[in-house]
Chain A
Amino acid sequence: MLPRQVDGDAPDLSGQDVRVTFLHTSDLHSRLLPYDFDPSFTDNGLGLADGLGSYGGMGRIGYILKRERAQAGRVLHLDSGDCFQGAIIFNEYLGEAEMRLFSEVGLDAAVIGNHEFDLGAQNLADQYSAWGTFDLLAANYDFESSDEPWATGLERMALPSAVYHLDGFKVGVIGMANISSLNSIYDQSNSLGVRVLEPADVLPREISKLESSGVDLVVVVSHMGLDDDQELARTIPGIDMFIGGHHHVAIDPPLVVVNEVTGQRVPVVHSGAFAKFVGRVDLVVRDGEILSFDYELFPIDATVPDDPHILDILEEYEEALEDSFNTQQVLGYACGETLDPELQCEKLTRYGETGGDSMLGNFAAEAMRAFPGIETEIALTNTLGIRADIPAGDITLDDIYNSMPFDNTIATMLLSGGEVQELLDYVAYRSTERGCQSQAQVAGITFDMVCDPDDPHAENIVINGVPLIEDSVYELATNNYIANGGSGFEVLERNTTKTFTDIEIRDVVIAEIIKYQTLPQPGVAVEDGRIHTVY
């Protein structure tokens, strides 16, 4: 039977094949301005070639989005969250630039990521209400009633889902915000004003609501992480596609998960982080069923032109940042050719070659415990507080902000030997889940990190050359984030001897770079096996 015309403009597409295109970004992490880095082997495999830097940048993303929109019929641009935090532009403008530029490139909807709360829920509400023109989604967050005097207003702003009309085709989009890292967020007000709802309760309800409204397709835009996306795709019927983020993985081609209830084959799409890629998925749908799909991942490098309009806006911010911070000021030099052959390197790395300690981790931890007025026996900081390697060559202030974007400060406390053991056992536990990649960096400590999935633990712990004594007391320098229990460091959270110094770790690191000028040096910013991974 041939379709009939149903209204003024839209065709009746029942029984017909319809192509729908989704453009996808995720985990932008404030990389609105292009930046230098050394693409990994994996990046290379995904099309991000060496030698084509700088990389990222919203001007280029804007160009790709505009081009791809022009080469598509029915199209939506969805973002999987965490546009905040990761470059100096966020530290200065608190998310304004991210919200504004996403609006300028015509983003249709974004799910709320955990880093959107980094400066508090109220900041998210303020920035979105001032600049956001896209839909902000979070079905699994129950925000405090806006009637409460202390409410952020997010209850009014954030929608559980939205419906988009694409020339006779209706797409329902559900936002699934992050759960796994919410325990990592501590907020000055001690509350985000968010009650987290169970996905297994929320999703069927939203799916049912969307189906009742006659949508042809149900898409979840998620910041839950790949594991949760796969699990929900497998167990919850009625979702046609997941478009996710949070784990910073770009997956090309997308994964396909077979729903165990319906047998439906559900694409799970992730397009990476730090403005390195834009994803495009094309679906062919008939009567609400995805018949087939195709995928393309666009690398964002220097070969991509800037969208002139976006570039104009970016230049406003860039010039102001330069005036305020002199972001290109050179603080030191990394990996010079004049270094001892044993010290030669291609970059200062945040991850160690064997999964243990790293160049930047050791440098930061040593800087923390040695800083005048701190001077503790040991230091420990979370590896993910360091977000990027520092490329060889001049070390600029911009590099430091890209590598250490968080405004974390030093906290000190006293721990018993038993608590140090517990602390490092927890590091081993978290690291084992993550490919035995150490989730903490230390100073004054050496230990074996045993990545046994059945019994992850730390052993052979030595403190400044002396084996750990269980009933001895050690003074620790750490960052305020994990001192408050961030990333699940409960042993630090419950400690009652904490002193918060308000000394920014980034400033301490900058001071050390200026002191040494060239890195690495013997015993400085080198991997020395202090965290020894054991499988």
Chain B
Amino acid sequence: MARPHLLVRAAACALVACSSTSDTVRVEPTVIQVTVEGELGSPEAPLDFSGSTITRTISVQTLDKDGQPYPFDGDLTVRVRPGKLDQEAWISVQDGQWQGDVAFHAAFGPTRIWVGDEGDKDSQSGRTPSYATGVTEAIHYAFPTIRQMNEIDDHETNQLSGEFAELRVADRQVVVTEIATAGFWVTDLADEPGTWNSLYIYSFSKPTNIWQGARLTTLTGNTQEYLATTQLSFPVYIAEEEVTLEVPEAFPLTGKRTCDDNLMEGLESTLVSVQGASIPSDFVEGSEDWEDYLEYGQWPIELADGGCRIYGDSTTATDFHPTEHVGEEIGEVSGLLREIWGKWIITARGEGDIGGGGFEEDRQLDPNRRPTTPTTSIRHAPPRHKPGTEPLRPFQPSLPAATDLDGHAH
């Protein structure tokens, strides 16, 4: 049933350098050999991970079916796996040879530079490609830390976007700061607070075999920007047995910091707190914040020392009803910081995170709020829409794929 696709009819080969067989011809090159100069590192002693451009020199030799040097003239493609190419993807080869630099960044783990025959850059050249592909020996780069993965100028992506992420945690102090219904948050204590060192891990169902304060020794998964918050989906994680680290104190946010998106981004998924928080008096029926609250449960916060408006999410603190405290100071608010397309939101972990838990008197249902189910899941609360884009549907499971977890016969 298999088809020898490398063999094409002679007529199709009129413009192609081919080696002939009986009634078919072989498109050459059959093999591409690629070598790389310089240090390769090793799994035990890898080269540094780099979010900036790295340049490596490679040499290319094309071979024919018999393993002899093949005088190929044409374009070949270059890619880096895993990693991101920082140059044009085409190189021009003459007489079967090429030597030059390849620029890339964000390579991690065993990385190889690919050179393949996928046709000429000018798709009208008429040359039939062989799809032969060769790779360099593995260049071993270190797996990135949480900070190295997260730290990037563009807040709507991360260094490993599009990659299966294997994070460097075994020799770090990566602690579970909070567990929610569909995932958990971690912070790498080996880095200072505010240095992009926290991450949300989305596990779909409530995570098991993990506890608050657990130290992770393995953490892998797919990176995803969910409503502008970086998360790891389809995670594999292992906690060190019988080890519980102290969960760091909430990082105090100042008003000044709330106006600096870059500083705030560095705190994404970190446990934070604000002192002297109040609910602004313009949080009234008909306002956009009010509508968002009705839909998503998020409410505005003003800080005592000024700064920019941030938001609270108290779906896990069902005793607290913000509509009853408009214009009032509510004291300290703490929780996990996340971004939803430009809005910074503190997601409370429970009653104690709002006003020190002093809202017992609010225990009856907020009459202004549409009934929803309390949940610590972050999946319920996208804002109405990103400015300038189409409205979002109000609820989307934050699955990284079109998951039904289905197939259970019916």
Contacts and interface: CB of A to CB of B under 8 A. Distances in A.
A306 interface: no
A255 B164 contact: yes
Interface stretch (A321-329, A431-439, A493-501, A509-517): A431-439
Contacts of B392: 41
A42 B396 contact: yes
Interface string A468-507: 0000000000000110001100000000000000000000
A405 to B, nearest CB: 9
Nearest to A256: B164
B75 to A, nearest CB: 15
A315 interface: no
A59 interface: no
Nearest to B79: A294
Contacts of A135: 1
Interface string A49-88: 0100000000000000000010111111000001000000
B262 interface: no
A167 B7 contact: yes
B14 to A, nearest CB: 17
Nearest to B223: A253
A466 interface: no
A346 B393 CA distance: 8
Nearest to B394: A353
Given A249-B403, A255-B164, A17 B2 contact: no
Given A11-B66, A181-B409, A292 B112 contact: yes
A19 B397 contact: no
A76 B397 CA distance: 33
A250 interface: yes
B319 to A, nearest CB: 16
Contacts of A166: 2, 4-5
A412 to B, nearest CB: 18
Nearest to B1: A108
B50 interface: no
Contact of B376 (A27, A353, A535): A535
Interface stretch (A2-10, A93-101, A194-202): A2-10
A15 B232 CA distance: 37
A506 to B, nearest CB: 13
A17 B65 CA distance: 13
Question: How big is chain B's contact interface, by range?
Answer: 35 or more
A17 B206 contact: no
Given A108-B1, A114-B409, A19 B133 contact: yes
Interface residues of A, number: 107
A532 B374 CA distance: 10
Interface stretch (B25-33, B191-199, B246-254, B328-336): B25-33
A114 B407 CA distance: 8
A246 B401 CA distance: 13
Contact of B2 (A165, A272, A346): A165
Contacts of A225: 407
Given A41-B393, A108-B2, A251-B400, A115 B409 contact: yes
Interface in B1-51: 1-7, 21-22, 24, 26, 30-34
A403 to B, nearest CB: 13
A432 B407 contact: no
A184 B112 contact: no
A265 B108 CA distance: 14
A141 interface: no
A293 B131 contact: no
A220 to B, nearest CB: 17
B55 interface: no
Contacts of B401: 42, 46, 249-252, 270, 272
Nearest to A26: B407
Interface in A244-275: 245-257, 265, 270, 272-274
Contact of B81 (A2, A248, A294, A529): A294
B205 A434 contact: yes
Contacts of B182: 435-436
A533 B2 CA distance: 51
Contacts of B404: 247-248, 273, 384
Contacts of A313: none
B408 A435 contact: no
B254 to A, nearest CB: 33
A204 B206 CA distance: 34
A385 interface: yes
Nearest to A249: B401
Contacts of B30: 11
A355 B181 CA distance: 12
Contact of A50 (B2, B110, B114, B390): B390
Contact of B399 (A42, A113, A529, A534): A42
B67 interface: yes
A260 to B, nearest CB: 11
A265 to B, nearest CB: 8
Interface in B67-88: 67-68, 79, 81
Given A11-B30, A255-B222, A5 B65 contact: yes
A317 interface: no
Contacts of A446: none
A436 to B, nearest CB: 6
A371 interface: no
B273 interface: no
A257 B163 CA distance: 14
B122 to A, nearest CB: 16
Nearest to A297: B401
B310 interface: no
Given A19-B131, A76-B2, A346-B393, 10 more contacts: A8-B22, A38-B393, A41-B396, A72-B5, A184-B408, A257-B236, A294-B81, A408-B410, A535-B376, A535-B377
21 contacts: A9-B26, A16-B134, A19-B132, A41-B393, A42-B402, A71-B118, A73-B131, A74-B5, A75-B3, A115-B407, A171-B2, A185-B409, A247-B407, A248-B407, A253-B163, A284-B133, A284-B135, A353-B394, A481-B410, A529-B373, A535-B375
For the complex of A and B, the 6 pairs showing the least CB-CB separation, nearest first, are A184-B409, A73-B131, A2-B67, A3-B67, A354-B373, A19-B133
